[in-house]
A and B are shown apart, each in its own frame.
Chain A
Amino acid sequence: MTSTNDPADLDSLELGLLLEGLHRRHGFDLRDYSRASLSRRIERFKQQEGIASTLGLLERALREGDLWERLLRELTIHTTSMFRDPTFFLAFREKVVPLIRTYPFIRIWVAGCSTGEELYSTAIILHEEGLLDRCRLYATDLNEEVVSQAKTGVFPVSSMKESTGSYQAAGGQRPFSEYYTVRDELAILSPALSRTTIFAAHNLVSDASFNEFQMIFIRNVMIYFNRSLQDRVLRLVHGSLCRLGFVCLGRRESMRFSPHEECYEEFVPGEKLYRKVRE
């Protein structure tokens, strides 16, 4: 047995107990998520709720359903936007589309799709390139609420200005307003864009792969995981990707620190677009 009275160790022990409790009680497994962001959100939540200690929070989260729901909302972050990192989408259009154009059928998995902005950005490019009808897209996220929101394809109209700018920076040439109609401050995207998409809840930590894909988007999802969970999830991604398939990571994510590094080549350097070259 080791023991400690270092305050830093005690804080991390308490956080570990909280995460263990949430996992056992609510089946929500954050044990291998990156601790620094988690503890920030937990500290903020404790402050909002006027709870003094992490163990006090655990006690209440085990018993009070409504507190748990509020905590869950605080712990899941869904920040996203249309054509986030426009140069990535430009590279997708210019470098990847010409290759996948030759495939008879294209399966694309958008993992951690949040409220759907990334999925619709991809669908718009595929539509403009005349490929959308040949594609099957799968948009998944851990959180069922955001998946059903993604499915509606409805966004605040106030976000359309920024989306339009990013669309243009990503090489879009049409009036972006072609893609939505406005009603009551809401921009409703054309349902044709998601006609070939299947939306589903899927947990990268605990659920298995469900198909083989030519392309997998998993951007800004694994940054919330620690190294060992990243490796596990990358193994799942690797096993779900066909030979010469593409993996897209977020702008500041990389294969560099992963055991799968040598199975991939950087297809477009700097854009985190990787191609599987080895099993």
Chain B
Amino acid sequence: MASLVVIGCSLGGLDALRVLLAAMPAEFPWPIAIVQHRGKNDDRLLVPLLQEVCALPVGEVEDKQPIALGHIFVAPADYHLLVEPAGFALSIDPPVSYSRPSIDVLFESAAASRRTGAVGVILTGTGEDGAAGAAAIKRRGGLVLVQDPSTATAGAMPGAAIAAAPVDRVLQLEAIAPALAELAREGRLPEALRDDPGPK
């Protein structure tokens, strides 16, 4: 199943995303879809702030946009972002866990359409959005990486994901981009990370 990386973050997410995306190699082959919680009229800044540090093209999703390889797609403010076999879909269904866009909605649809190809990443944030989504990805055989809650700006969200799902790795923020790059190269997690049981 074709791979797709889905990333979810909330409080502290912008800084964390800038660290992560700055370290992504320009030849990273897989598409990456991002839900960052934000206010509903907060429209203009997120994409330029991410593009500024990132070698891969970053854009905000339009409805039914095809999922191009090596592109980074950001969920628009006030819309849910969903993955379908043919491309992205948006919806203005009611907020889930008080959020629109919701991380669970993105992750669950990625799990359903990409199965073992879904790679979820939960970064810093308050609340529990993304925990159910991470569990859905694991149920369908995908991979989940989580930022270490003890060093995240806000540990609640990554902590909730760890509690809800048998996640594959708990990593320092700086280690996440290299892990994704290695995964794309080798089709698996790097040796060094596979043996690391992560903090308990």
The chain B residue sitting closest to A34, CB to CB, is B89
Which listed residue (A8, A77, A227) contacts B91, Cβ 8 A? A77
B93 / chain A contacts, CB cutoff of 8 Å: 37, 40-41, 77, 79
Q: How many residue pairs between the two chains, A and B, have CB atoms under 8 Å in the bound complex? A: 70
Given contacts A36-B112, A36-B113, A40-B108, contact A252 B61 (CB under 8 A): yes
The reply to whether B76 and A251 contact each other, CB–CB distance below 8 Å, is: yes
CB <8 Å contact, B62 and A253:
yes
- Chain A positions within 8 Å of B6 at CB level: none
Asked whether B174 is an interface residue with its Cβ less than 8 Å from the other chain, the reply is no
Please state if A37 and B94 are interface contacts (CB–CB under 8 Å).
Answer: no
How far does the alpha carbon of A37 sit from the alpha carbon of B80 in the complex, in Å? 9
Closest beta carbon of chain B to A105's beta carbon, Å = 33
- Asked, given contacts A8-B112, A253-B63, whether A77 binds B89 with beta carbons under 8 Å apart, the answer is no
B189 CB within 8 Å of chain A:
no
Neighbouring B residues of A230 by C-beta, 8 Å: 64
Complex Cα gap A174–B82 (Å): 39
Interface size, chain A (Cβ < 8 Å): 26
Instruction: Tell me whether A211 is interfacial, beta carbon within 8 Å.
Output: no
A256 at the interface (CB under 8 A from B): yes
The answer for the CA separation of A252 and B74 in the assembled complex, in Å, is: 12
Complex CA gap A39/B82 in Å reads 11
Residue picked from A8, A11, A254, most chain B C-beta under 10 Å: A8
B-binding segment of A18-26, A176-184, A198-206, A218-226: A218-226
Residue A257 lies at the interface, judged by CB distance under 8 Å to chain B: yes
Which residue of the partner chain B has the closest CB to A39? B112
Give B44-95 interface residues, CB cut-off 8 Å to A. 60-66, 76, 79-80, 82-84, 86-87, 89-94
A35 within 8 A of partner (CB): yes
For chain B, give the interface size range. Answer: 20 to 34
Instruction: Report yes or no: A40 in contact with B92, Cβ–Cβ below 8 A.
Output: no
B3 interfacial by beta-carbon distance below 8 Å: no
Q: Give the Cβ gap from A41 to chain B, nearest Cβ, in Å.
A: 7
The residue of chain B having its C-beta at the shortest distance from the C-beta of A86 within the complex is B41
Decide: B115 and A8 in contact? CB cutoff 8 A.
yes
Closest chain A CB from B84 CB (angstroms) = 5
| Closest B residue to A6 using CB positions | B115
What CA separation (Å) do A136 and B128 show in the bound complex? 48
Contact B84 A77, beta carbon cutoff 8 Å: no
**Docked CA distance A182–B89 (Å):** 39
Q: Which B residues lie within 8 Å of A226 (CB)?
A: 64, 86
Residue of A nearest to B115 (CB): A8
Query: Would you list which residues of chain B between 83 and 139 have a CB under 8 Å from chain A?
Result: 83-84, 86-87, 89-94, 105, 108-109, 112-113, 115
- A residues 1-49 with Cβ under 8 Å of B? 7-8, 11, 34-37, 39-41
Q: A252 contacts B108, CB within 8 Å?
A: no
* A223/B91 contact (C-beta < 8 A), A37-B82, A253-B63 known: yes
B63 touches which of A11, A77, A79, A254 (Cβ 8 Å): A254
Residues in B whose Cβ lies below 8 Å from that of A223: 63-64, 89-92
Asked if A37 contacts B89 (CB within 8 A), the reply is yes
Task: Enumerate chain A residues within 8 angstroms of B63, measured Cβ to Cβ.
Answer: 222-223, 250, 252-254
Q: Which residues of A contact B61 (CB under 8 A)?
A: 252
Q: Residues of B contacting A11 with CB < 8 Å?
A: 112
Closest to B83 in A: A36
Query: Can you name the residue of chain B whose Cβ is closest to the Cβ of A257?
Result: B64
A47 to chain B, nearest CB (A): 12
| 11 extra A-B contacts, CB within 8 A, seeds A40-B82, A254-B62 | A11-B112, A40-B93, A77-B94, A79-B92, A79-B94, A223-B64, A223-B89, A223-B92, A226-B64, A250-B92, A254-B63
In the A-B complex, list the 5 residue pairs whose CB atoms are closest, starting with the nearest. Answer: A36-B82, A37-B91, A34-B89, A36-B109, A223-B63
Q: List 6 A-B contacts (CB under 8 A).
A: A8-B1, A223-B64, A223-B91, A252-B62, A253-B63, A256-B62
Chain B contact residues, CB within 8 Å of chain A = 1, 60-66, 76, 79-80, 82-84, 86-87, 89-94, 105, 108-109, 112-113, 115
